[in-house]
């Protein structure tokens, strides 16, 4: 019996790997080789939409901003490096002079900075239709944020948790007023599957005893999926016309991949690089979930290659999701000294 199960699992893995390598389209009509422009080609916005995108100064975030702007979405770039953000804005405007691109400063690893960004956005008086929690870091060595929290977890998860909480009412209000469903996208990663339940100790996530950069990154990406699951449940309870989903962009040729290079040999890196997605392909799933009518009303799901797919059993654990959300809220209340 065990042998048959093992053979069945191996067969499924081989089938999925072949589908990925060849770029075979899934039920959505798109696959691993689809680009962000291709999946949004017929999705020009008839009504004006506003999207906030974190980490839009390079890689997947920049391509997401470029393609959404090309489809008529007003973009608010939430950026730590304002000089880089200004250059990206110029590049997008050169391609489409009519694009509306605003830039606002944020440091996701700082809770105070996240709160300041949200106050500045509120002062603009803009609607909010889409929130893309894309920004992220990979730190090979143990580092701490200004809040004395482990940097990878603070940036990839805690900052986006607070950003979402502070912007949720605006997303709900915009959807009620316009009738257009609000959408939140958490950019996660398939490496979330590497995390075991014993590794999900909140205290250790904030201040690990033995630090491993890859493990910390995987833990932060698991937290992003659990966050999407719990917030989706809460939004359903509120009967809010807002969805939240997590996406795996694929293994993409970005700065984060380069940061991992020191942990594998050059030969392995060369072989692995042949399986990597291009940045336009990496941004496809985010853009698809953000704009496609096929993802309307889908919430609390996990997408890869522009198709809904399965995440790990731990990522589907409702109790783990609720517990993490409550622990995070308690931490932020303690750090900020007031309700979020």
Q: Which domain holds residue 85?
A: 27-250+280-336
Please give the full DSSP string across 309-333, using - where no structure is assigned.
----TTTT-HHHHHHHHHHHHHHHH
3-state SS class at 131: strand
Q: Is the Cβ–Cβ distance between 225 and 192 less than 8 Å?
A: yes
Give the whole-angstrom CA distance, residue 192 versus residue 195: 6
Token readout for 139 is: 């730190």
Give the Å distances, CA to CA, from 115 to 107, 161, 225, 335. Answer: 10, 11, 22, 12
The verdict on residue 257 lying in a domain is no
pLDDT band of residue 339 (cuts 50, 70, 90) is: low
Q: What is the pLDDT of residue 21?
A: 57
The number of folded domains in the chain is 1
Hey, what are 176's tokens? Answer: 């009620």
- Would residue 9 count as lying in a domain? no
CATH of the domain at 73: 3.40.50.720
Domain annotation covers residue 273: no
- Give me the pLDDT at residue 276, please: 83
Report CA-CA distances (Å) from 56 to 63, 115, 141, 285: 8, 19, 24, 15
Note the pLDDT tens digit of each residue in 63-104: 999 999 999 999 999 999 999 999 999 999 999 999 999 999
Span 306-322, pLDDT tens digits? 999 999 999 999 999 99
Q: How far is CA 66 from CA 96, 98, 102, 241, 321, in A?
A: 9, 12, 13, 26, 33
Assess whether pLDDT exceeds 60 at residue 207.
Answer: yes
Write the CB contacts of 145 (distance below 8 Å, at least 6 apart in sequence).
109, 110, 151, 154, 155
Helix extents (H) in 125-212: 151-153, 159-178, 202-206
Average pLDDT over residues 177-206: 95
Task: Report the DSSP pairing between strands 130-133 and 49-54.
Answer: parallel
3-state secondary structure of 277: strand
Residue 272 inside a domain? The answer is no
Look at the block and give the residue holding tokens 């992220």.
Answer: 136
| 239 has pLDDT over 70 | yes
Instruction: Please indicate, yes or no, if residue 239 is contained in any of the structural domains.
Output: yes
The upper half-sphere exposure of residue 219, i.e. CA atoms within 13 Å in the direction of its Cβ, equals: 28
Query: Is 197 a member of any domain?
Result: yes
Q: Is 211 a catalytic residue?
A: yes
In a domain, 265, yes or no: no
Query: Per-residue pLDDT averaged across 110-124, rounded?
Result: 98
Catalytic hit among 211, 217, 288, 302? 211
Which 8-state DSSP code applies to residue 154? Answer: I
Lowest-confidence segment of 45-54, 122-131, 161-170 by average pLDDT = 45-54
Is 62 contained in some domain?
yes
């Amino acid at each position: 019996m065990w042998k048959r199960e093992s053979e069945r699992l191996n067969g499924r893995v081989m089938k999925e790997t072949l589908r990925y390598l060849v770029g075979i389209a899934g039920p959505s009509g798109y696959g691993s080789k689809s680009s962000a422009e291709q999946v949004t080609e017929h999705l020009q916005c008839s009504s004006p939409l506003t999207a906030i995108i974190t980490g839009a100064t390079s890689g997947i975030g920049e391509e997401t901003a470029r393609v959404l702007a090309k489809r008529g979405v007003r973009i608010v770039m939430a950026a730590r490096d304002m000089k880089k953000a200004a250059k990206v804005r110029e590049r997008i405007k050169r391609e489409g002079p009519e694009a509306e691109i605003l830039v606002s400063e944020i440091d996701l690893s700082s809770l105070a900075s996240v709160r300041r960004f949200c106050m500045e956005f509120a002062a603009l008086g803009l609607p909010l239709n889409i929130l893309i929690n894309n920004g992220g870091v990979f730190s090979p060595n143990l580092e701490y944020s200004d809040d004395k929290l482990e940097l990878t977890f603070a940036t990839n998860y805690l900052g986006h948790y607070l950003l979402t909480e502070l912007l949720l009412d605006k997303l709900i209000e915009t959807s009620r007023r316009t009738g257009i469903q609000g959408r939140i996208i958490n950019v996660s990663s398939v490496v979330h599957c590497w995390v075991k339940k014993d590794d999900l100790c909140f205290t250790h996530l904030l201040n690990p005893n033995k630090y491993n950069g890859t493990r910390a990154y995987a833990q932060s990406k698991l937290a992003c999926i659990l966050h999407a699951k719990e917030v989706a449940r809460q939004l359903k309870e509120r009967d809010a016309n807002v969805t939240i989903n997590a996406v795996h962009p694929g293994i993409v040729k970005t700065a984060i991949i380069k940061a991992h290079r020191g942990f594998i040999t050059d030969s392995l890196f060369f072989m692995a690089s042949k399986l990597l997605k291009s940045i336009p392909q990496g941004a496809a799933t985010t853009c698809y979930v953000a704009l496609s009518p096929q993802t309307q009303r889908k919430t609390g799901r996990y997408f890869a290659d522009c198709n809904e797919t399965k995440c790990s059993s731990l990522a589907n654990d409702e109790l783990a999701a609720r517990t993490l959300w409550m622990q995070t809220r308690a931490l932020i209340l303690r750090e900020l000294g007031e309700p979020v």
